[in-house]
């Protein structure tokens, strides 16, 4: 059992879900504290019916903390994580600050929980779009070894934070009323529109969001030979990222074999009945912790190709849930020693 647990960024959108998950799940700890920026310090949060005062994020806040689950901006994570580690805490970090650091494991528990044994105080959780893709890839990779992936993402505005949600809601109202609206999170209107750019230009006209999916997937699977071609698109959906994924495997897998592998996999729910109009949709998957897969079919353009549709709540499995699952897996591995 943990003695002392800290939630960093506790008042943010992801931090709020972390608090909810910790109330719902059986992560064992004796005491908990909530940390946030100076602006939020002093606020009162209810946790399991008890009031807790939010503390300012500073080095001394990590004294006697055993484990910290954190969701902060990258710059904040780069600053505070060494404070926590120096004071003996393990940090499960949701930001992008440490993901590609050679000394930091990048973990999705359903895929590579064994990497937790290699941590040196910091464990990184991947980008939301990467997480759901690698969870879906894992059973097919185990069954037939994936050699190529072509993925197009349809990413919700909640991925851009509360201001992204505001842009969707206010922009849609303004568009319907034929009024002007000044977008804050997006450089183009998101209401009734698609924006085929998430992040800045990063590599050969691929964006930073797209290259995260390449580099993080290689690190998670420990295999740089997997060819990945991503296109990331922001869509006017409030919550849940969707992905159209095509994989090519070394060993040919039938649709039946792929579906059987998905059904047996940890963390995946299959909804796949085209004739009945049954497949994963954001409206049905929001608020859920698993990765949903459907529209499983043979790629008619490739001998060893399979195509499928994948949906997950980007604030839960794409962020808060994965971080809490990392903490659970870490504690379970300690208990097994």
The answer to whether the beta carbons of residues 214 and 205 sit under 8 Å apart is: no
Residues 93-132 pLDDT 10s: 999 999 999 999 999 999 999 999 999 999 999 999 999 9
Q: pLDDT tens, 249-258?
A: 999 999 999 9
Q: Give the mean pLDDT of 168-172.
A: 98
Through-space distance between the first and last CA atoms of the chain, rounded to whole angstroms = 13
pLDDT, tens digit, 9 for 90 and up, residues 37-83: 999 999 999 999 999 999 999 999 999 999 999 999 999 999 999 99
- Reported as a pLDDT band with limits 50, 70 and 90, residue 260 is very high
pLDDT at 336 over 90: no
Cα separation, 240 vs 249, in Å, equals 27
Question: Active-site residue numbers?
Answer: 128, 241
Which sign, positive or negative, has the C-alpha torsion 292, 294, 299, 304?
A: positive
Tokens 């790629």 sit on residue = 299
- Tell me the sheet residues that pair with 5: 32, 67
Query: What pLDDT, on the 0 to 100 scale, is given for residue 26?
Result: 80
Let me know how many helices (H) and strands (E) the chain has, helices first.
Answer: 9, 16
pLDDT of residue 335: 58
Dihedral of the CA atoms 300, 196, 139, 257 (nearest 10)?
Answer: -20
Identify the pLDDT of residue 309.
Answer: 98
- What band does 8 get if pLDDT is binned at 50, 70 and 90? very high
* Distance from C-alpha of 127 to C-alpha of 100, rounded to nearest angstrom: 11
DSSP state of 54: P
Query: What does the pLDDT look like over 193-247, one tens digit per residue?
Result: 999 999 999 999 999 999 999 999 999 999 999 999 999 999 999 999 999 999 9
Tell which residue, 335, 336, 122, 137, has the closest CA to residue 228.
137
Q: Is 277 left (phi over 0), alpha (psi -120 to 50) or beta?
A: left
Q: Which domains does the chain have, with CATH numbers?
A: 2-127+319-336 (3.40.50.720), 130-314 (3.30.360.10)
Measured CA to CA, the distance from residue 110 to residue 113 in angstroms comes to 7
In whole numbers, what is the pLDDT of the chain averaged over residues?
Answer: 96
**24-31 mean pLDDT:** 89
pLDDT tens per residue across span 70-86:
999 999 999 999 999 99
Q: Give yes or no for residue 292 having a pLDDT over 90.
A: yes
Q: Is the pLDDT of residue 334 over 80?
A: no
Whose CA is closest to 241, among 185, 177, 318, 305?
A: 318
The DSSP secondary-structure symbol of 157 reads G
User: Per residue, what are the HEC states of 285-332?
Assistant: HCCCCCEEEEEEEECCCCCCEEEEEEEECCCHHHHHHHHHHHHHHHHH
In a 3-state reduction of DSSP, which class is residue 271?
coil
> Tokens at residue 257, please?
């074999």
pLDDT confidence bin for 1, thresholds 50/70/90: low
Provide the pLDDT confidence category of residue 337 given band limits of 50, 70 and 90: very low
């Amino acid at each position: 059992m943990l003695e002392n647990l800290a939630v960093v960024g506790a008042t943010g959108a992801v931090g709020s879900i972390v608090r909810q998950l910790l109330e719902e799940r059986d992560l064992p700890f004796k005491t908990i504290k909530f940390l946030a920026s100076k602006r939020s310090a002093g606020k009162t949060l209810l946790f399991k019916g008890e009031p807790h005062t939010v503390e300012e994020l500073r080095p001394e806040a990590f004294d006697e903390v055993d484990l910290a689950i954190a969701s902060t901006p990258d710059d904040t994570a780069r600053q505070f994580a060494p404070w926590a580690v120096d004071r003996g805490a393990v940090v499960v970090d949701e930001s992008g600050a440490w993901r590609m650091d050679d000394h930091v494991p990048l973990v999705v528990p359903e895929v590579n929980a064994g990497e937790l044994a290699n941590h040196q105080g910091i464990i990184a959780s991947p980008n939301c779009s990467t997480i759901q893709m690698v969870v879906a890839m894992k059973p097919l990779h185990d069954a037939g070894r994936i050699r190529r992936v072509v993925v197009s993402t349809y990413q919700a505005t909640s991925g851009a934070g509360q201001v992204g949600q505001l842009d969707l809601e206010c922009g849609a109202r303004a568009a319907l009323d034929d009024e002007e609206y000044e977008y804050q999170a997006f450089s183009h209107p998101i209401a009734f529109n698609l924006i085929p750019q998430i992040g800045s230009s990063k590599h050969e006209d691929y964006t930073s969001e797209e290259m995260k999916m390449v580099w993080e997937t290689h690190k998670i699977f420990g295999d740089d030979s997997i060819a990945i071609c991503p296109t990331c698109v922001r869509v006017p959906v409030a919550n849940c990222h969707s992905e159209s994924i095509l994989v090519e495997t070394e060993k040919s897998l039938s649709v039946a074999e792929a579906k059987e592998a998905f059904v047996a996999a940890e963390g995946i729910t299959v909804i796949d009945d085209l004739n009945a109009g049954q497949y994963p949709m954001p409206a049905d998957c929001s608020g859920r912790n698993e990765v949903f897969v459907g529209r499983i079919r043979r790629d008619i353009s490739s001998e060893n190709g399979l195509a499928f549709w994948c949906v997950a709540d980007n604030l839960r499995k794409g962020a808060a849930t994965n971080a809490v699952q990392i903490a659970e897996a870490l504690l379970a591995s300690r208990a097994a020693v």
